[in-house]
Structure 1
Amino acid sequence: NARIEYQLLATQKKLLEYSVKYNKWSYLPTVALNGAYNLNYFNNAFSRIYSNSFPNSFAALTLAFPIFQGGKRKANIRGAELEVERNGLDIVNLQNNLNAEFTQAMSFYKSYYQNYLALKDNLAVAQEVYDVIQLQYRSGIKAYLEVITAESDLRTSEINYYSAMYQVLASKIDVQKALGQITY
């Protein structure tokens, strides 16, 4: 899914799964190796301070066995597993919400598109009526008031047509947003 919300939850799920693994690894013994080597310089005369060196070094190996921690490890593991389960439910909830958003956006788009087609036909009819009445007015058959009324109806049809076109385009953007094709 291309939606950023879904990608965020998927990344969070990976992190929570790693947290479960980390908490399970707390049962394993740990081994640590440390070491250092140093040179110390001492002399009473400042000019010969680096003439005598006294090396020292150490090495340490630490082995730790976790024996008992009062059930804290089990609680941490169970808590991390519950977080993974909750994240899975959040993903399902998000998918349901995205599907509902897409369904609603598609429904609006189809409705607005049908309205657009009807208003497009209405505009063509209004233009035809205006042209006929204009021709009849020039021939002396119709009164000027009827021309004004037809022109007013034509302008109203144009406004409704452009409004419907805007609604179709806006609802198309909503569909694309629901599909994750548009990011802000």
Structure 2
Amino acid sequence: MKNKGILLGIVLVVSNVIAQQQILTPTEAVSLALENNYGIKLANNQLEVAKNNASILNSGFLPTVTGNAGASYSIDNTEAVFSNGNVTILNGAESSRYNASVNLNYVLFDGLGRSYDYKQLQEQYQLSELQARETIENTVFQLFTIYYNVAQITENTVALNQTLAISNDRLRRAKYQFNYGQSTKLAVLNAEVDINNDSINLINSEQELKNSKRDLNVVFGNILDHDFDVDTDIKFDVLYNKEALFEKAKTRNIALMQIEKSIMISGYDIKSGKSAYLPTVGLNGSYGWNKNNNNAAAFLAVSTNTGISGGLNLSWNLFDGGNTITRVKNAQINLENQQLQKEQILVNLERDFNNAWDDYQNKLNIYKIREDNIATSQNNFDRTEEKFKLGQVNSIEFRQAQLNLRNAELSRNIAKYQAKLAELQMLQISGELLNVAF
């Protein structure tokens, strides 16, 4: 009872230390990553660029308006001979000219090329949204890979702490027995060796835990300036339907959605290329002002003109050396390639989904077996400990039971988080990773 009280006290101390630190829940971790992860920030900026490109301001549907203005000044030496024979000589005759105009150009019809280009830009924006979503999905999966690694090492550290506490209790017992002549010095030395090994394992685990927390903080953009712990409570109480999940995969898988969007863009690219076969009709207009200040040799001293002009123009590229034909043919080949890629993605998707589903089911079953094995190992250790106290088993047998319990706990921790990551992998393939509550 005394030994169990000491062990319970150590566990409570460790629990109190953990309780004093911030517990970072999976939901909070996702929020921090979405807000501060550099990869996600870059993806959002690229999405803003695509949004700007998809604006009406970049569509070619709006007219262009330009303003022009100019001025000139000259000093001339002029000799003018009139029809009556008179001669006039002007030295330093000054003249100046001023002009300003506003010009408008607007394409009324270009074979619907602008319309298809604008639709392409809209689809490009939606494709950028899917690419941003892919970045978010990959970041979230990366986040949980590190998050659950921290959780696993945290539980490993607790298990190693318990192992060290048991070894310390064994050393004290060995020293008492040696002092009272009930055992040899060898039992004390063996206990000290085991404590050293357990201490080294604990030190390595604590260092690994610190490193993993730093890795997790990098995913957050290194914004956490204090120590934290993660939630080690994981539940597997969601019952997934394989057929329903696969149907979602065929409509929501991010790679499949991107190739479908690329196919739509290629279709518009073909139509845009074919628009070059049609003529272009444009409208132009201008409003201008001109003023001339002539020198004395001119017939008019000052002339001022203002006026509005407008017109239509038609341009038809009857043959451009085959450039349009080549562009359309290449666009059609590109569309065919993307359709083949879609078929390949569908084949790979079915394989990857089935692999992920089976992997999840297997790892979940392994975790349940490992969890059940904990009770068996704990029962075996408790019985061995009682016999050890009664002198019915030696220290080697006791140590083996202790290591069996520790290894069972470490194996359970590995299986636990591998099963959770397998579940997340399955959800990512199905396109449901961002639709579940963490």
Distance 2:308 2:393 in 1: 114
Distance 1:4 1:41 in 2: 65
- The structure whose residues are more often strand, as a share, is 2
Deviation readout 1:58-95 (Å, 9 max, x if unpaired): 43322234434454433332221111111111222223
Q: How does 1:9-20 map to 2 (within 5 A)?
A: 9-20=259-270
SS at match of 1:55: strand
Residue 40 (structure 1) shift: 0.8
Aligned to 1:120: 371
Aligned to 1:158: 409
Deviation readout 1:113-145 (Å, 9 max, x if unpaired): 12111211221111122223334445x373243
Identity of aligned residues (%): 25
SS at match of 1:35: strand
Question: Once structures 1 and 2 are overlaid, which stretch shifts more, 94-103 or 63-72?
Answer: 63-72
Aligned to 2:392: 142
Structure 2 alignment gaps of length 5 or more: 1-250, 296-301
Distance 2:273 2:399 in 1: 81
TM-score scaled by structure 2? Answer: 0.36
Aligned to 1:53: 304
Residue 39 (structure 1) shift: 0.9
Distance 1:3 1:11 in 2: 12
Q: Is the 8 A contact 2:384 2:393 kept in 1?
A: no
Give the counterpart letter for 1:165 in structure 2.
K
Quick check: 1:85 aligned with 2:343? no
Distance 1:177 1:33 in 2: 53
Query: Structure 1's 65 and 143: CA in aligned 2 closer, same or farther, altered over 3 A?
Result: closer
Which 4+ residue blocks in structure 1 deviate beyond 6 angstroms? none
Residue 20 (structure 1) shift: 0.9
- Aligned length, in residue pairs: 177
Query: Structure 1's 53 and 5: CA in aligned 2 closer, same or farther, altered over 3 A?
Result: farther
Question: Once structures 1 and 2 are overlaid, which stretch shifts more, 53-62 or 16-25?
Answer: 53-62
Quick check: 1:95 aligned with 2:95? no
Question: Once structures 1 and 2 are overlaid, which stretch shifts more, 118-127 or 64-73?
Answer: 64-73
Give the counterpart letter for 2:344 in structure 1.
N
Question: Once structures 1 and 2 are overlaid, which stretch shifts more, 80-89 or 23-32?
Answer: 23-32
Aligned to 1:133: 384
Distance 1:65 1:52 in 2: 40
Give the counterpart letter for 2:264 in structure 1.
K
* Residue in structure 1 matching 2:277, options 27, 45, 52: 27
Distance 2:254 2:304 in 1: 62
Deviation readout 1:14-65 (Å, 9 max, x if unpaired): 22111111122222222122221201123369xxxxx963124443322234
